[in-house]
């Protein structure tokens, strides 16, 4: 009989990390403070997460924001970029993990095999995850950042016979699960909803 550790696959955005609050309650106010209207920031953010790819790309955000404020002649592109870099690439971002997240990661690292699969821009997220301190919980091979469907990343991996998926999006989890079940792996989905304390009790 095989004696393999269960694999836990974590989602990052809005599962472990308060992604929505992070942008709107943490980053946006730094731009509002220098006089940029909130709807400009929101507009630039939406465009930078939808055109031409449907995940956030920092350069697109700065470009969009700059083109919105350019006519006022009050801000330089560099200034907008510096605000972003100072606050997003900072260990302060660790305040935006959900309660129980880091405890859950510590526990999982001790007891199970772990993997983090995150949808988004690889260059941005690789850098951002360093500031989040994820290297304490995952080796670089245990973090996958993809701009494609998450289930597609699973094809190349050796997955043990038992797997748990922790994700705030049930459909995304189900898609990964059906791929794994097709390979004969037994999968349990735990849907994360803001606090990880309940999930912490289950694993």
Q: Establish if 153 lies at the interface with Mg ion (CB under 5 A).
A: no
Smallest distance from the beta carbon of 137 to Mg ion, in angstroms? 17
Q: Establish if 11 lies at the interface with Mg ion (CB under 5 A).
A: yes
Taking residues 13 to 52 in sequence order and writing x for each that binds Mg ion by CB under 5 A, - otherwise, the string is: xxx-------------------------------------
> Please, which residue, 157 or 191, has the CB nearer to Mg ion?
191
Q: Establish if 168 lies at the interface with Mg ion (CB under 5 A).
A: yes
Spatial strand order in the sheet of 7-10? 143-146, 113-119, 7-10, 162-167, 186-191
Question: Which stretch, 65-73, 81-89, 127-135, 162-170, contacts Mg ion (CB under 5 A)?
Answer: 162-170
Name the closest residue to Mg ion (Cβ).
13
Q: Determine contact, residues 40/24, Cβ cutoff 8 Å.
A: no
Question: Which stretch, 89-97, 109-117, 126-134, 166-174, contacts Mg ion (CB under 5 A)?
Answer: 166-174
Q: Establish if 114 lies at the interface with Mg ion (CB under 5 A).
A: no
Which residues of this protein are in contact with Mg ion, per CB under 5 A? 11, 13-15, 168
């Amino acid at each position: 009989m095989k004696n393999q550790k269960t694999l836990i696959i974590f989602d990052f955005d809005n599962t472990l990390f308060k992604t929505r609050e992070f942008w709107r309650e943490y980053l946006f106010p730094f731009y509002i403070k220098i006089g940029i209207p909130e709807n400009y920031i929101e507009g630039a953010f939406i465009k930078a997460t939808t055109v031409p790819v449907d995940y956030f790309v920092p350069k697109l955000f700065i470009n969009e924001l700059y083109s919105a404020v350019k006519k006022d002649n009050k801000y330089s592109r560099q200034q907008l970029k510096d605000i972003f870099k100072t606050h997003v690439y900072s260990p302060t971002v660790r305040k935006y993990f959900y309660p129980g997240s880091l405890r859950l990661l510590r526990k999982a690292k001790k007891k199970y095999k772990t993997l983090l699969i995150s949808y988004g821009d690889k260059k941005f997220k690789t850098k951002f995850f360093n500031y989040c301190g994820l290297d304490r919980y995952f080796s670089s091979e245990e973090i996958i950042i993809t701009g494609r469907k998450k289930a597609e990343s699973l094809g190349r991996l050796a997955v043990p016979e038992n797997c748990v998926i922790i994700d705030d999006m049930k459909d995304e989890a189900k898609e990964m699960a059906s791929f794994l079940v097709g390979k004969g792996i037994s999968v349990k989905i735990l849907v994360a909803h803001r606090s990880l304390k309940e999930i912490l009790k289950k694993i």
